[in-house]
Amino acid sequence: MWMSMLGMTALPHVGGFLGGFITRNEVKTWYPDLKKPSWRPPNAAFPVVWACLYTGMGYGSYLVWKELGGFTEDALVPLGLYGVQLALNWAWTPIFFGAHKLKLALIEIILLTGTVGATMASWYPISRTATLLMAPYLSWLCLATALNYCIWRDNPKKKRG
pLDDT of residue 124: 98
Torsion of CA 99, 138, 42, 89, to 10 degrees: -20
pLDDT of residue 159: 37
Task: Estimate to the nearest angstrom the gap between the alpha carbon of 71 and the chain centroid.
Answer: 22
pLDDT of residue 27: 86
pLDDT of residue 157: 78
159 domain-assigned? no
CB count within 10 Å of CB 74 equals: 14
98 domain-assigned? yes
7 by Cβ neighbours in 10 Å (0-12 / 13-18 / 19+) ranks as exposed
42 domain-assigned? yes
pLDDT of residue 16: 85
* Among candidate residues 74, 78, 82, 75, the one with its CA nearest the CA of residue 58: 82
Confirm if 98 and 30 have CB atoms less than 8 A apart: no
pLDDT of residue 62: 98
Residues of the chain with pLDDT below 50 are 158-161
pLDDT of residue 160: 35
* Among candidate residues 145, 56, 142, 49, the one with its CA nearest the CA of residue 92: 145
d(CA 50, CA 69): 28
Confirm if 108 and 95 have CB atoms less than 8 A apart: yes
CB burial of 105-120 (b: ≥16 within 10 Å; e: otherwise) equals bbebbeebbebbebbb
160 domain-assigned? no
Phi, psi of 24 (to 5 degrees): -50, -50
CATH of the domain at 28: 1.20.1260.100
Domains in the chain, number: 1
Note down the domain range covering 125.
Answer: 2-154
